[in-house]
Structure 1
Amino acid sequence: MCCSFFKLSTLSLAVMHAMPAVANDLDFTPFTPTQSDFGGVGLMQMPTGRVAPEGEFSLGVTMNDDYHHYHSSLQLMPWLEATIRYTQVPDRKYNNNPNFAPEDRAYTDKGIDVKLRLLEESYWIPETSIGLRDLGGTGLFDGEYIAASKHIGPFDFTAGIGWGYIGNRANLKGDTSLGDDCGRDTSYKGKGGSFDYGRWFTGCMSVFGGVEYQTPWEPLILKLEYDGNNYQSDTLVVKDVKEMPQDSPFNLGAVYKFGNWGDIRASYERGNTWTVGFTLKTNFNTLAQNWVDTPTPAYNGAQGKSVEDIDWDRVATDLETIAGYGDTKVYADDESITVVGSQSKYRNRDFAHEKAAMILTNTGSKASTYHLVEQQAKQTTIQTDIDAAAYRKVANQEYVGASVTETTTRVNPESARGMLQADTSKPWSVSVNPSLQQSIGGSEDFYLFNVGVTAGASYWLTDNIEFGGGVYVNLYDNYDKFKYDVPPDGTDLKRVRTLVRQYISDNTVRVSNLQLTAFDKFGDSFYVQAYGGYLETMFAGVGGEVLYRPLNSNWAFGLDMNYVAQRDPNSEFGIFTEEVHFDPITGRYYRVQTGTPTGHFTTYYRPEWSWFDDLLIKASVGQYLAEDKGVTLDVSKQFDSGVIAGAYMAKTNLSAEEFGEGSFNKGFYISIPFDIFTVKPSASRAVIGWTPLSRDGGQMLGRKYSLYSMTDGRYPNSEFTNR
């Protein structure tokens, strides 16, 4: 009986394992949103109510016979997605004037999309978003939408309402057979690139929707979409370039994912058109550093040593190699130890404080307080005081969760106490850095760039006066294609930036900077600098800056004033003295800047709201290099990895016609910490910028030093203290 029962039980267990389990949500592969044809989370042509995880950054390409989309999306906030897109139209010329664009140059549309998540998904409520497509472009694909998405098992259902390009089917409102886009103004203001909010949520209106199916095979997602557009108002049809028939309103697609870093896409759209694409992606919040770092020394328990019994030169060396404090001066007596130096190793200052505190504690000094004074360009910015007795408890791990942060206090820098015991500072420095300048989507070529190397050197005449400079060596560029001239629209500004070809392509080696700079500080919160010389590649002159930045404050105010003249690209040290010049390449006259005041009053603000975290907003008001006056708004977001992504726009008193193509100055940039890609910690950064067009309006002077950047450690939530 016993044995029979055992056999029966074994058989029952085997049958149970062979039977499929009852389906539930946990059995399905987790659903991950993917990019649409236009960039940004979506189906194919249509968006969804979904957004990506905060910090996700993607680069993608989507192509068919009609359009080539190059797009980049960034999930700036949990509720805000931003997309930049360039679209080439192979069957349409950029411009019919061969002096403005080569004959084989395809028309290029530049667009900016935003999506705002209104509601997060819950048991009953779908994830709901509102969005605007091509809000800053020329209106080629402009449209607006409200979309909602609900996840059920392996399916993700979407339903939405679209206006403009997204709603041209007009199955909800309007009649496209009338040929007037349902009353929507489809022209664009000025020279393109402006925000034409007057037509948002107007014109044809259509319902759209679809479903995404996460197959049991994890890499594969299938999509079915009901298109809200009928393609009869597309530029190729309106311009009589070609027909874009739609044999079916349903689009079919498939996405194959390569883990978390990318995917490839294929779709059959309009019942007659194949579309293919790929996306590469990463997440700026979750990028991790794997360092091979110098370990923190073990606590040796030494105590009671007098100043004379300590090897301070060894201490200074350890502070540099282990804790990252370079150009160090160490002052000490039996009451305190003061370390004055620059921190070039750790973006997260807690690491530096921990290592420095352990090094100083292991000296066995009688000091009760350690003062760590940070410098930037030899100017003191922030002081961190460490309670020696409290830190010894941390070093000895006398309680659970012991941390150096419990022993530190941030204060304004004070004069060093005690005698100078060691000095590793030097009056000179040298550097070599790669350099990349680029412009995307211009009339001459889709991508213009130059790559080179900048070698710099400086010498400190005193602790407050520096003489330094840099030489740029151009390794490769294609700016010989940049033949900007007075364009067909008649723009005639002074050529303050559009002479870039002469400065770069015509000069392999050029002095990019050569100046004398003096720094000073008044009280606890005022920082100043004055400078003169060759301030940047294109301009020379004199100027100064003052910054008011209280300790631990999330706001600051700055003012820079300069008088500059344009450097002659045909002379290493010459300055333009005549305003009007003749260009033998284009055969036309142009104007340059022979001397003008320029400067801005800038407000810096870091919101401390939970839904706007790690944001920096800069607003600058003043006069620009082309003598136009206006405001520049610069907004940047810092992610958990330390990557900073930002965008800026300058709106001046120039009309769109006076400014030229693009209507106003704008651009984007990403600042990437070096140590994300290296095995050693580093506080250095690389900045990659994208400029849609090189134009002369809204252009600021490039200055060697920014007092706000130099004093970034004065804000407690900056990258220098919590990254």
Structure 2
Amino acid sequence: MALVCAGAAGIAEAQSVSTYGTPGLLEIPTAEMFEDGTLAFTAAGFRDTARGTMTFQMLPWALGSFSYAYIKGFDGAVGDRYDRSFDFHFRLREESKHSPSIVMGLRDFGGTGIYAAEYFVATKTFRDRFKLTGGIGWGRMAGRGAFSNPLGVFGERFDTRPSSNDGETGQLDFGNWFRGDAALFGGVSWQHNDRLTFLAEYSPDLYTAEGDNIGFDIHSPINFGVQYRFKNGTQLTTSYLYGTTLGLTFSYFIDPRKAVTPGGQGAAPPPLRPRSQVAAATADRTQGDIRDRLQRALDQEGLRLVYLSDSGNTVQVGVENNRYGLAAQVLGRTARVLVNEEPPQTEQFDIALMSRGVPLSAVRVNRDDLYELEHDPDNAWRSFARAEVSDTIPLVDGGILTDAFPHFSYRFGPYLNFSFFDPDDPLRYELGAALGLDYTLSPGFTLSTGLRLPILSTLDDSTRVSDSPLPHVRSDWAIYARESNLRIEHLTAEYLWRPGTNLYARTTLGYLETMFGGLSTELLWYPTDSRLALGVEANYVAQRDFDVLFGFQNYTVATGHASAYYDLPGEYHAQVDVGRYLAGDYGATFALDREFTNGFKVGAFFTLTNVSSEEFGEGSFDKGIRLEIPVSWLTGRPSRNKLAQTIRPVLRDGGARLSVRNRLYGVTREARAQNLSRGWGRFWR
């Protein structure tokens, strides 16, 4: 994440951001939204309080945020406090010429309740520069000037507000939303120019939740601030809060659609040679010559030729992608090479996307279409409409090239791991060197290992001892960090194959991940043109020794899931996994991701099992936020590598799932019609 914040291009125009990291003035919210898809990172600090927030505009009318706060001297005897919270902000009405925008919001709806509040707020813009905001709030926002709840007309239960979670996190306090006293809040902003904005607000917050030692006095409900917006959209706000203290808020915005380095930095695709030149060049070539030239040309494009067959006027090829983030770009580059190297009598190209010699899907491209559409301004959608996507090409005897297997590949480079929200040290890290080796003996059958050597680490400094009553399948992570040095992250024999049309299968044996090893099997049904995929996985595993080398502990478990995957309209993807987890508990994991065309992904998940919140412990149930950032988004150069980070409020044993490499849905999805259509704009690049 630090790499993103350091290098990503900001958004030129963004709304003002409050100390809570959501659209607002200084402390109060406004009824505004960020641009759809925006990621906002906010750091805010004032006397004895610091907040860090990540906010994602997941829909044009809804955003969510995760915050982590440090409160010094919380409630006297309790001492310093680290607090986690989730917020939601829903637009009920969009601003029009004569009426304001209206938003309903929930603050800290699943945390300890320190910041718990609900509100309705309206904002109206006058002459583009002056904005007026007013609203009503409950919970923490019902401090100064509080009055009886107007919702009491709907029943007496709205008159009083129960306590929030008793300091426990992870539980949704439906029972106290919009209950108890209410108070009004409001404010104004005036944009002096494109860089400078002046802010003033009335905040009813009395900071009573922090106790008597908040570090400053509340003398006035009026807050003032000045905001400066840099050219890249970054905002810096200085404020004078509650008549006694100074504050500082910094916000950085990322638009996932806009890469840090716009425009491709890689080599341009080969131009299509005229038919006459192709005819002259290929007139005397043998099949062996054509194959050798194809291999060399594809290798220059970062593609590996695995399969080649010629039948009449159609040539069938299978390629493996070593370079590009989008499969459509693989197809486009391959098609250009085929046009330039195959004789003119070859009219059709069947191009199979393959993984370790296993075909995923095939696309038929006509030679005439390539010539006709190369310079057409609408060539992206027109070429996709003419292409034919099918399950695979028939693998006839002799199609797999004799020199394609066995095949060896390796990866070497640094790695960086983070651990978040340990109360003793909220951010821990590990930096080291990683080596990966893959040896594919025959199509689908691969021996693989991954080694890691930590160099700099604070993970092994943790002295926390798990108090989980469940089997310690994840909560002993600190012991693994302390007792391991050179680690065998995985050491597996894996076999992928196609048992039938629209079916994919995987069997993996060995040390599957850092903490478990054993046998994993999987079957996936995924029609080429379907939004829906269904899978089932079964595993029998044993817990590995803490040194992450060759030994096992005594704990064994059978685990597995039935999974449903669905591509929702737009950029959204849903997944549900139902089954048995590593601690022997049963339940389901629900995930929703927004995946942009360039592969940038932001998502959230939660898991509910038959483990009670008391047994689970801190956090009540497993949940988190995940980011995937393509390296090409940062560098502008084609790459299949991604930076992935999962942000969990706490890692416990309930709802813990086995981590297996090359799960079939991830392997096959890029080659399905839905994904190809979204990325087809790269076909010609």
Deviation readout 1:141-160 (Å, 9 max, x if unpaired): 01111111111121011111
> Within 1, Cα distance between the matches of 2:231 and 2:627?
24
Question: Which aligned pairs between 1:247-396 and structure 2 lie closer than 5 A?
Answer: 247-287=219-259, 289-302=262-275, 305=282, 308=286, 311-322=290-301, 324-363=302-341, 364-395=343-374
Among candidates 482, 501, 520, match of residue 478 of structure 2:
501
Quick check: 1:532–1:541 contact (8 Å CA) kept in 2?
yes
Quick check: 2:361–2:393 contact (8 Å CA) kept in 1?
no
Quick check: 2:327–2:670 contact (8 Å CA) kept in 1?
no
Among candidates 171, 186, 198, match of residue 163 of structure 2:
186
Deviation readout 1:34-90 (Å, 9 max, x if unpaired): 210011111111111001001221222111114111111111121121111001111
Among candidates 561, 570, 573, match of residue 600 of structure 1:
561
Give 1:7's aligned residue. Answer: none
Q: Structure 1 445/52 Cα, relative in aligned 2: closer, same or farther at 3 Å? A: same
- Residues 420-429 or 491-500, more deviating: 420-429
> Within 2, Cα distance between the matches of 1:124 and 1:527?
57
SS of structure 1 residue aligned to 2:370: helix
* Contiguous gaps of at least 5 residues in structure 1: 1-29, 97-104, 578-593
Deviation readout 1:388-428 (Å, 9 max, x if unpaired): 22223234x5x664454354211110214697596663422
Give 1:710's aligned residue. Answer: 667
SS of structure 2 residue aligned to 1:328: strand
> Within 2, Cα distance between the matches of 1:190 and 1:566?
33
Q: Structure 1 661/402 Cα, relative in aligned 2: closer, same or farther at 3 Å? A: closer
- The alpha carbon displacement at 1:286 in A equals 2.5
Deviation readout 1:630-689 (Å, 9 max, x if unpaired): 111111111244210111111111111111111111121110111112242123222122
Deviation readout 1:521-550 (Å, 9 max, x if unpaired): 122211111111111111111120111111
> Within 1, Cα distance between the matches of 2:400 and 2:593?
42
> Within 2, Cα distance between the matches of 1:515 and 1:93?
52
> Within 1, Cα distance between the matches of 2:643 and 2:52?
23
SS of structure 2 residue aligned to 1:657: helix
Give 2:50's aligned residue. Answer: 68
- The alpha carbon displacement at 1:430 in A equals 1.1
Structure 1 length normalisation: TM-score?
0.85
SS of structure 2 residue aligned to 1:484: coil
Give 2:153's aligned residue. Answer: none
Give 1:466's aligned residue. Answer: 446
Q: Structure 1 136/257 Cα, relative in aligned 2: closer, same or farther at 3 Å? A: same
The one-letter code sitting in structure 1 at the alignment partner of 2:116 is D
> Within 2, Cα distance between the matches of 1:682 and 1:651?
36
Give 1:82's aligned residue. Answer: 64
- The alpha carbon displacement at 1:252 in A equals 0.7
Q: Structure 1 290/261 Cα, relative in aligned 2: closer, same or farther at 3 Å? A: same
Q: Percent identity?
A: 26
- The alpha carbon displacement at 1:571 in A equals 6.7
Question: Which aligned pairs between 1:424-435 and structure 2 lie closer than 5 A?
Answer: 425-426=404-405, 427-435=407-415
Cα RMSD between the aligned structures?
A: 2.6
> Within 1, Cα distance between the matches of 2:401 and 2:226?
66
Among candidates 635, 646, 656, match of residue 613 of structure 2:
656
Aligned length: 651
SS of structure 2 residue aligned to 1:209: strand
> Within 2, Cα distance between the matches of 1:665 and 1:346?
34
> Within 2, Cα distance between the matches of 1:248 and 1:671?
44
Quick check: 1:391–1:407 contact (8 Å CA) kept in 2?
no
* Contiguous gaps of at least 5 residues in structure 2: 1-11, 151-156
Among candidates 104, 109, 124, match of residue 150 of structure 1:
124
1:169 matches 2:169: no
The one-letter code sitting in structure 2 at the alignment partner of 1:479 is L
Q: Structure 1 464/328 Cα, relative in aligned 2: closer, same or farther at 3 Å? A: closer
Deviation readout 1:255-299 (Å, 9 max, x if unpaired): 111123412111111111211121222211223533232223333
Give 1:676's aligned residue. Answer: 633
> Within 2, Cα distance between the matches of 1:321 and 1:36?
50
- Residues 499-508 or 151-160, more deviating: 499-508
Q: Structure 1 625/369 Cα, relative in aligned 2: closer, same or farther at 3 Å? A: same
SS of structure 1 residue aligned to 2:573: strand
Deviation readout 1:368-394 (Å, 9 max, x if unpaired): 210110012332111010012222323
Give 1:140's aligned residue. Answer: 114
Of the two, which has the highest radius of gyration? 1
Quick check: 2:164–2:173 contact (8 Å CA) kept in 1?
no
> Within 1, Cα distance between the matches of 2:601 and 2:409?
27
1:530 matches 2:528: no
> Within 1, Cα distance between the matches of 2:235 and 2:204?
25
> Within 2, Cα distance between the matches of 1:486 and 1:623?
22
Among candidates 626, 633, 647, match of residue 604 of structure 2:
647
Give 2:186's aligned residue. Answer: 209
SS of structure 2 residue aligned to 1:576: strand
The one-letter code sitting in structure 2 at the alignment partner of 1:415 is P
- Residues 642-651 or 677-686, more deviating: 677-686
Question: Which aligned pairs between 1:205-244 and structure 2 lie closer than 5 A?
Answer: 205-216=182-193, 218-231=194-207, 233-237=208-212, 241=213
The one-letter code sitting in structure 2 at the alignment partner of 1:276 is L
- Residues 566-575 or 82-91, more deviating: 566-575
Among candidates 530, 552, 556, match of residue 553 of structure 1:
530
